[in-house]
Amino acid sequence: MKTVKDYIRTIVDFPHEGILFRDVTTLFSDPRGFRMAVDQMLHPYAGKRIDKVVGLEARGFILGGAIAHQLGTGFVPIRKKGKLPGSTISQQYTLEYGEAIMELHDDVIEAGEMILLVDDLLATGGTAEAGILLVERLGGQIISCNFIIDLPELGGRKKLENMGMDVHVLCQFNDV
């Protein structure tokens, strides 16, 4: 029987030489694989209050939308700088290949709302940390951070857990 990890392909030397890129588009394109991933990402939260699902750009939108639909909650995108219209708050962060800025509309999360943060991959944790900080600035409470893949050698899980976050992943790749 296939696992989620079996649907993920590895692309060598992308986006830079020496990188093993974990491509989830092969998982998303397979109906059984995609359903398996979404169902497994939902499982830990059965019976828990979740007011909104926050997805990190870009593959977190695909997962977050599907998970929010299944939970019957709202979906909130956190995007790269300049992609959201209207009034936003922003957070600079460091990622594997440099620095960037993420933004969130300043009126999409109410104080006290319980938030599930979702993305496809946890590497250094910089993107997720930026998302957490944005949600918390609006008064949202992150109940958990949920990913398909963890790359433990890059330390992202440890970073998020040191922030007091619950972290759930479906699989990990130890060779980066």
The catalytic site residues sit at: 59, 96
Q: Which two tokens stand for residue 164?
A: 């007091």
Dist. CA 6–CA 22, nearest whole Å:
11
Q: Which two tokens stand for residue 58?
A: 């870009």
Rounded to an integer, what is the distance from CA 139 to the centroid of its chain?
Answer: 19
DSSP 3-state of 171: strand
The full 3-state SS of 113-141, as one line of letters, equals: CEEEEEEEEECCCHHHHHHHHHHHHCCCE
Dist. CA 14–CA 37, nearest whole Å:
24
